[in-house]
Amino acid sequence: MISRPTDSTATGDDRAEAIDKAANLIEALPWLSRFHGRTVVVKYGGNAMVSEELRVRFAESIVFLYYAGLRPVVVHGGGPQISAMLDRSGVESTFTAGLRVTTDEAMDIVRMVLTGQVNREIVGLVNRHGPFAVGMSGEDANLLTAERKSVLVDGEPVDLGRVGEITGVDPGAVAALLADGRIPVVSSVARADDGGVYNVNADTAASALAVALGASKLIMLTDVEGLYADYPANTELVSRLGVDELKALLPTLSAGMLPKMEACLTAVQGGVPQAHIIDGRVPHSLLLEVFTDQGVGTMVADEELEAALLAGDRPRSWRPHDNRTDHTDGGRP
């Protein structure tokens, strides 16, 4: 028998605080019901990866999602860590049109940092709470395939080196881990058909994987509150956008926000009911988005898919043996 100690010093304020906590838990009830058993892909990046406190809080949030019955998948980059290691190694960091130019020499460092350092750190933080997280690279089991990416700068093509554009997703290994009750943690490195490897944008990788898995949500952590309607004044936060509204806004977006919103658009057009941009600098912002009525950040949604999701339509059965690109699971209604 477990007994609870009697605290004669407890006050009315203590009881009121406890009641408030209970009310917060009850607020989460409908969201727990709607998202139980569903897949949520979380892109992890920005300052949340640098601050030790935020890193710990992020891992706690992922474990909370897991214990609440959701199936989280983490996709991460590691820009600050890559830049730091390149500096220590004496390799110059070069950016063109906001994208890192990755030489063959730099790619070795990128691969080492993303898969050997950042990935292991995330897995370790999550696994403080139990044997849940399994680290993997986009190279593993041909999860992500890419080809060389080039961009136009002032009308001229620019070679970004070992920077890739995702051309294929084989989610079978991730699906198998989810079916086994694990939390996949994926670094944004992709294989090439020629046997090489590419550094790919983590926003794009998360979006592509969310579509391939049939996820219910894509959530991307950033260093801003969300999408602002009055950039650069940043006083008016857009809480919700439809697909057509976002398409109209894309030409006006800043270079930093554009790839994130394009990733959200691609995910929703690919069948993910909801995609979110949230502030990773706020502890447990992930939980605030998933489990509260107000939510946080900016959401892009497809009304028809979202209606089915919120109505509680149950997912189709999980097929871990089916590793086609159009593989679906418990996420998509």
Binding residues for substrate: 78-79, 100, 199
DSSP 224: S
Sorted by sequence, the CB contacts under 8 Å of residue 37 that are 6+ apart come out as 69, 70, 71, 315, 330
The H or E element spanning position 100 is strand 99-101
Pair type for strands 94-96 and 99-101: antiparallel
The H or E element spanning position 205 is helix 202-213
* Among candidate residues 19, 20, 31, the one with its CA nearest the CA of residue 65: 31
d(CA 38, CA 217): 9
d(CA 132, CA 261): 30
CA distances from 290 to 72, 90, 237 (A): 12, 42, 18
Binding residues: 78-79, 100, 199
Q: Across-strand partners of 183?
A: 133
Phi, psi for 6 (deg, rounded to 5):
-90, 125
What does the block give as tokens for 32? 């727990």
Phi, psi for 29 (deg, rounded to 5):
-55, -50
Residue with tokens 């680290």: 135
User: Other CB atoms closer than 10 Å to residue 245's CB: what's the count?
Assistant: 11
